[in-house]
C-alpha cells in the first residue's frame, strides 16, 4: 500500500541547521572563538618548507625518505621565506610554506598582498589550487583567465564549476586581500574580500583525476616567481554535524526534497519493519536482525540524501530500486554498501564490498568515512543505469551498471537493469542508524 509523503525534518537536522546558520552568517573576519592562529607574526611555528608533491605519494615514502626530503626543503625555505613586520614574505621562489598539521573539513582565513605581475595560490590538502594573481591586463595573464579575478579553482577542468570565479573581487595591486575558505570533503566555497567567488565546487585532484582529493592534507602557500606577502592566517576545524548541515543545504537544500522519515516512527515504511526500531530520532537496525526496510513508494530516477552512523564493524546498505522481495544486492538494481570499511576486520575484503560500492559490481573509493560513532552525510543520484555517490562532500562512486561485465565471485546480478523500485536499507545484523532521509524524484 502506498503511503503519503512525510515532510517533517528531524530534530537532529533542526539542531544542525542552527550551526549552519552560524557558519553561513559568519563575518569576513576570523575573530570568533574556535579559530587557531596558524601564523604568529614572529616566526614559522606551525609551518615548514615542503615541495609540491602528490600527498598520497609523499605518504608512501619511507620514514628515511621523508626525513631526507623535509631536511632538503627546510634548507631551501631558509633562502626564500622570511618574516618581516608581522608578515610572512616569499621572494617568489623555492619550496612552499606548508602547515605542520594535516587538515580535513575547515574554515580558513588568509590575507595576501601581491606586487605587480604577482602570481601565487593556496593549496588545500596539498592540492592545487585557489588561484591568486595580478588581474590587470598589463600583467599579461588575461589569456589564462586572470581578467575574471582571483579565487577560482584554476586546475579544475575547463568549464567545470569553480574553475572561474563568479565575480571579480580583487583589491588593487599593493592592497591586502582576504580569503575566507570553507572546505568540506572535496567541496570548496571561497569568499574574496567578502564576495562569493566559488560556491560548493568540487576541488578536482590535480595529481590523479581518477581519484578524489585526500581526506586530509596540509595547507600550502605557493611560490610562483613573484613576491607575495601573507598575514592573519587562522583556521577552524568544522565538526561533523555542522559539516553535514551545510552539505544538506547545497543545491536547494531539503526544501526541494521529500522527507521519508518523520523522526518518530516507521510510518510509510514496509518490509522488515519488525527488525528495525526508532531510537533518538533515527531508524536503527535491531542488533542480530536484518532484512530490507523500504519506503513504500517506487522511484525511477532520484536523488537521495541520508545521514548514517556506524557502530564498530557495522554493516548495512542502501537498497536501490528494490523490487520488494529478495536480496537488495542481486534482485534490486544494487545495494550500495554502508560499511565500516576502515575496521580491521574488513582490511582484505574485495574492493567492490567497500563502503559506497555498488555491491559486487563497482568499487567506491575508500577512506572518506568519518570516525566510527559520528554521523556521515551521503548523497546518492540514480539516473537510468548510472549511480553516483558523494560521501561527506567527496565523490566516491561514479558507476554505469549497464557496462558492468565482471562481478564478484561470478555471482549474477539479475536486477541490475531495473528501471524502478523502492528505496530502503538492507540490514545485516548490526545496529546501524539512519536519520534525515530525503528523496527527490528526477522524473
Asked if the model's pLDDT at residue 4 lies above 50, the reply is no
Task: Work out the average pLDDT over 366-376.
Answer: 97
Instruction: Give residue 436's pLDDT.
Output: 97
Residues 263 and 231 in one domain: no
Domain boundary among 207, 240, 273: 240
In a domain, 191, yes or no: yes
Q: Which long-range contacts (CB under 8 A, 24 or more apart) does 156-162 make?
A: 156/201, 156/202, 156/203, 156/204, 157/204, 157/209, 160/201, 160/202, 160/204, 161/200, 161/201, 161/202, 162/188, 162/198, 162/199, 162/201, 162/202, 162/203
Total number of domains in the chain: 2
Residue 246 three-state SS: helix
| pLDDT > 70 in the chain, percent | 93
Residues 208 and 267 in one domain: no
Instruction: Give residue 7's pLDDT.
Output: 38
**pLDDT, tens digit (0-9, with 9 covering 90-100), for 381-424:** 999 999 999 999 999 999 999 999 999 999 999 999 999 999 99
Task: Work out the average pLDDT over 172-177.
Answer: 97
Residues 264 and 222 in one domain: no
**CATH label of the domain that carries residue 57:** 2.60.120.560
Instruction: Give residue 168's pLDDT.
Output: 98
Residues 286 and 425 in one domain: yes
Task: Work out the average pLDDT over 346-359.
Answer: 97
Domain range for 93: 26-240
Asked if the model's pLDDT at residue 14 lies above 80, the reply is no
In a domain, 32, yes or no: yes
Asked if the model's pLDDT at residue 173 lies above 80, the reply is yes
**pLDDT, tens digit (0-9, with 9 covering 90-100), for 22-62:** 455 454 455 667 999 999 999 999 999 999 999 999 999 99
Task: Work out the average pLDDT over 128-146.
Answer: 97
Domain boundary among 185, 215, 240: 240
Gyration radius of the chain's alpha carbons: 24
Instruction: Give residue 438's pLDDT.
Output: 97
**pLDDT, tens digit (0-9, with 9 covering 90-100), for 84-136:** 999 999 999 999 999 999 999 999 999 999 999 999 999 999 999 999 999 99
In a domain, 315, yes or no: yes
In a domain, 36, yes or no: yes
In a domain, 11, yes or no: no
Residues 437 and 363 in one domain: yes
Task: Work out the average pLDDT over 333-351.
Answer: 97
Residues 308 and 430 in one domain: yes
Q: Are 173 and 156 in contact (CB under 8 A)?
A: no
Residues 71 and 101 in one domain: yes
Task: Work out the average pLDDT over 167-173.
Answer: 98
Instruction: Give residue 30's pLDDT.
Output: 56
Q: Are 234 and 109 in contact (CB under 8 A)?
A: yes
| CB-count exposure of residue 65 (10 Å: 0-12, 13-18, 19+) | exposed
Cα(402)–Cα(16) distance, rounded to whole angstroms?
38
Asked if the model's pLDDT at residue 9 lies above 90, the reply is no
- Give alpha helix (H) positions in 174-293: 240-248
**pLDDT, tens digit (0-9, with 9 covering 90-100), for 215-261:** 999 999 999 999 999 999 999 999 999 999 999 999 877 778 999 99
In a domain, 297, yes or no: yes
Mean pLDDT of the residues in the chain: 93
Residues 209 and 261 in one domain: no
Residues 77 and 223 in one domain: yes
In a domain, 349, yes or no: yes
Q: Are 396 and 289 in contact (CB under 8 A)?
A: no
Binned at pLDDT 50, 70 and 90, residue 5 comes out as: very low
Binned at pLDDT 50, 70 and 90, residue 425 comes out as: very high
Residues 329 and 415 in one domain: yes
Domain boundary among 192, 214, 240: 240
In a domain, 363, yes or no: yes
Residues 97 and 195 in one domain: yes
Residues 234 and 263 in one domain: no
Helical (H) or strand (E) element with 154: none
Amino acid at each position: 500500500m502506498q503511503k503519503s509523503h512525510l515532510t517533517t525534518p528531524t530534530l537532529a537536522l533542526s539542531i544542525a541547521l542552527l550551526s549552519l546558520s552560524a557558519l553561513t552568517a559568519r563575518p569576513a573576519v576570523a575573530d570568533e572563538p574556535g579559530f587557531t592562529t596558524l601564523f604568529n607574526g614572529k616566526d614559522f611555528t606551525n609551518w615548514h618548507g615542503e615541495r609540491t608533491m602528490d600527498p598520497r605519494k609523499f605518504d608512501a615514502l619511507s620514514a628515511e625518505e621523508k626525513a631526507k626530503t623535509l631536511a632538503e626543503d627546510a634548507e631551501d625555505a631558509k633562502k626564500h621565506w622570511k618574516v618581516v613586520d608581522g608578515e610572512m614574505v616569499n621572494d617568489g621562489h623555492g619550496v612552499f610554506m606548508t602547515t605542520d598539521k594535516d587538515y580535513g573539513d575547515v574554515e580558513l582565513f588568509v590575507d595576501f598582498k601581491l606586487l605587480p605581475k604577482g602570481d601565487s595560490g593556496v593549496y588545500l590538502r596539498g592540492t592545487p589550487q585557489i588561484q591568486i594573481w595580478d588581474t590587470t591586463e598589463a600583467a599579461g595573464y588575461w589569456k589564462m583567465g586572470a581578467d575574471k579575478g582571483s579565487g577560482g579553482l584554476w586546475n579544475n577542468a575547463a568549464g567545470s564549476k569553480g574553475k572561474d570565479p563568479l565575480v571579480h573581487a580583487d583589491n588593487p595591486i599593493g592592497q591586502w586581500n582576504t580569503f575566507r575558505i570553507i572546505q568540506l570533503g572535496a567541496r570548496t566555497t571561497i569568499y574574496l574580500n567578502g564576495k562569493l567567488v566559488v560556491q560548493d565546487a568540487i576541488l578536482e585532484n590535480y595529481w590523479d583525476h581518477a581519484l578524489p582529493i585526500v581526506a586530509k592534507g596540509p595547507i600550502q602557500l605557493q611560490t610562483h616567481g613573484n613576491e607575495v606577502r601573507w598575514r592573519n592566517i587562522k583556521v577552524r576545524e568544522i565538526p561533523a554535524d555542522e559539516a553535514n548541515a551545510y552539505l544538506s543545504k547545497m543545491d536547494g537544500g531539503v526544501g526541494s526534497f521529500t522527507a521519508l522519515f518523520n523522526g518518530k516512527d516507521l510510518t510509510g515504511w514496509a518490509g522488515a519493519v519488525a527488525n528495525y526500531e526508532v531510537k533518538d530520532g533515527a531508524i536503527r537496525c535491531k542488533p542480530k536482525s536484518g532484512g530490507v526496510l523500504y519506503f513504500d513508494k517506487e522511484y525511477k530516477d532520484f536523488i537521495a540524501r541520508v545521514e548514517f552512523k556506524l557502530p564498530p564493524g557495522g554493516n548495512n546498505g542502501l537498497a536501490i530500486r528494490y523490487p520488494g522481495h529478495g536480496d537488495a544486492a542481486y534482485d534490486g538494481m544494487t545495494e550500495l554498501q554502508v560499511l565500516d570499511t576502515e575496521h580491521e576486520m574488513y582490511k582484505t575484503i574485495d574492493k567492490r564490498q567497500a563502503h559506497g560500492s555498488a555491491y559486487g559490481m563497482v568499487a567506491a573509493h575508500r577512506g572518506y568515512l568519518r570516525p566510527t560513532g559520528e554521523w556521515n552525510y551521503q548523497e546518492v543520484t540514480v539516473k537510468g543505469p548510472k549511480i553516483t555517490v558523494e560521501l561527506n562532500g567527496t565523490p566516491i562512486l561514479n558507476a554505469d551498471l549497464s557496462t558492468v561485465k565482471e562481478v564478484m565471485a561470478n555471482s549474477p546480478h539479475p536486477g541490475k537493469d531495473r528501471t524502478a523500485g523502492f528505496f530502503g536499507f538492507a540490514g545485516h545484523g548490526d545496529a546501524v542508524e539512519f536519520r534525515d532521509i530525503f528523496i527527490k524524484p528526477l522524473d
